[in-house]
Chains A and B, each alone.
Chain A
Amino acid sequence: MRHFTFFGGKGGTGKTSCAASYALSLAARGVRTLVVSTDPAHSLADAFDKPIGFQTAPLCPNLWGLEIDAEVEAKKYMKSIQDKMLDLVSAAIVDEIKRQIEIAYMSPGAEEAAIFDKFIELMEAVGRDYDAIVFDTAPTGHTLRLLTLPEILGAWIEHLIEKRRKAMDLMKMAARYDKPLAERIANDPIIQTLTARREKFALARKYLTDPEASIFYFVLNPEKLPILETARAVELLSRHGIAVGGVVVNKVIPADAGPFLEKKRLSQEGYLREIRGRFSSMTIIELPMLDDDIQGMVQLQRISAMMEGLDS
């Protein structure tokens, strides 16, 4: 068991079902577990057949659920900035730059950034409120961007800090004979804010790239396209230093499924062989296609024992 376990993959392959049932299996083993959805189109509540929202909801002994709401998180963030602003500048100016705030609020990266902030906050709660967090992530592209965000933005922020520092150094030269001013320059709030942000990204990087702390599993179905996509995504995560523990092959048609599915089952067999070959260095578990959707504790328990295979 790792502190952070991620389930990712193409849309509809079974990420939510896997995350939910794995979290259930951890809870059953006495691990205090939080299962979190970072997918803006949440379906964790459907999987558990219980209400879950942007606030932590208890699901069963040792298990809690949460669906990150980007809008709620962004609003909290805006509010804290506006409060701070009112302490520092006049209300008239705050009003005047509302437009700017709105632009940033609706910028393309905003939703991801808001989710990411919550994500870091949750990671910091491990060891204190929880022993493990299981992440049910959005389809591959979104998740890859989310996980590689701290590395990419970390470099950018470093560049900003350097620029500001250069301006400050020149200011310090100019203020050489003005001690109080020199002191204020040394406590520049811009550098402090940027540094705090950089530290946050560094912390996320540290968690994500520590194979003892974080592990990523891809969920795929035995079909042609997902195999290629998975191989590519595994490559990309490895390049960013994120450990991929294995793949969960979901919706495998059982041998006794009957003649109606026989043709499909045979083609799955070919893809299964390919998957076993391609990902032979990792853990592979195979989950059968069930006769019904996976919804509610009873159904989840049907596969949660199999999910324990990830820890052996």
Chain B
Amino acid sequence: MNKLLKALRTGWEFFVLFHHGTFVDKNMAVVRKEAFDINDNLMLLLFGDYLGIPNPMSYYMLELLPYVADDLEPWERRMQNRKFIIAEKAAQYDFD
């Protein structure tokens, strides 16, 4: 049991690092950005229903919540921004 808790905590700490970053190498910043983007897209597949995108297995995705709970709100905001940027671009081309 203790072992499990420890493993979970390790996972959690990792998540904090993942999102706040402890990276110095500038070249690596690009790689990191790409990793973040892939991860944000993955979050969309996992928790898209929170943004109104139906998810066939949202029930099973709940078990991932403990590991992403802290990032959920910031992620939703990032997604809203993304929508905003796309809308802005579209406006430039007179789509509507």
Contacts and interface: CB of A to CB of B under 8 A. Distances in A.
B12 to A, nearest CB: 5
Chain B residues touching A, range:
35 or more
Interface residues of A, number: 53
Contacts of A175: 23
Contacts of B32: 170-171, 174
A103 B7 CA distance: 28
Nearest to B47: A100
Given A89-B12, A101-B62, A185-B14, A166 B5 contact: no
Given A105-B59, A107-B58, A163 B66 contact: no
A54 interface: no
A181 interface: yes
B60 A197 contact: yes
B42 interface: yes
A128 interface: no
Interface of A: 74, 77-78, 81, 84-85, 87-89, 93-94, 96-97, 100-101, 103-105, 107, 109-110, 113-114, 152-153, 156-157, 159-160, 163-164, 166-168, 170-171, 173-178, 181, 184-185, 187-190, 192-194, 197
11 contacts: A88-B67, A88-B69, A93-B70, A109-B57, A160-B42, A170-B35, A170-B38, A174-B31, A184-B17, A188-B14, A189-B7
